[in-house]
Amino acid sequence: MNESCGVKCEQCGGNLIFFEEGRAQGTRCDQCDWSVVTTNMPGIQLDRCRYEVRCRGDYRNQAQVKAVSEVTGQNYLISRLTLQQGDALVFSGQAQEVLQARNILASAGVVCEITPDFSWI
């Protein structure tokens, strides 16, 4: 994303262009290439809140049991028992890990509830 920010370069007076490239963002002169750059970290990486993932699913559905097993790291039989419990806590962690766990569960059709409110979906 490049767009003019309406400010002039302090070196040559050219237009400064705002840019984002990977995990960097800043302004760059369109004439002399003078620039100011800073880190641009996605918000999900900065989120330090601890989230809990609870799920409900069909313990007879092989794909759902396998998904719970993948998220919890438990064997198939224990994951099947976990699904029989109803609203079972299957994962606790930070935002990026929780999003990954939620995606694994959701792709198998397991219903997930994340607490506290999770805004990264």
| Tens digits of residue pLDDT in 22-73 | 889 999 999 998 999 999 888 999 999 999 999 999 999 999 999 999 999 9
Residue 30, number of CB atoms within 10 A of its CB: 13
What fold is seen in the domain 45-115? Ribosomal Protein L30; Chain: A, (3.30.1390)
Which residue ranges make up each domain of the chain?
Answer: 2-40, 45-115
Angle at 80 between CA 75 and CA 85, to 5 degrees: 125
pLDDT digits (tens, 9 = 90+) for 96-117: 999 999 999 999 999 999 999 9
Record the pTM: 0.73
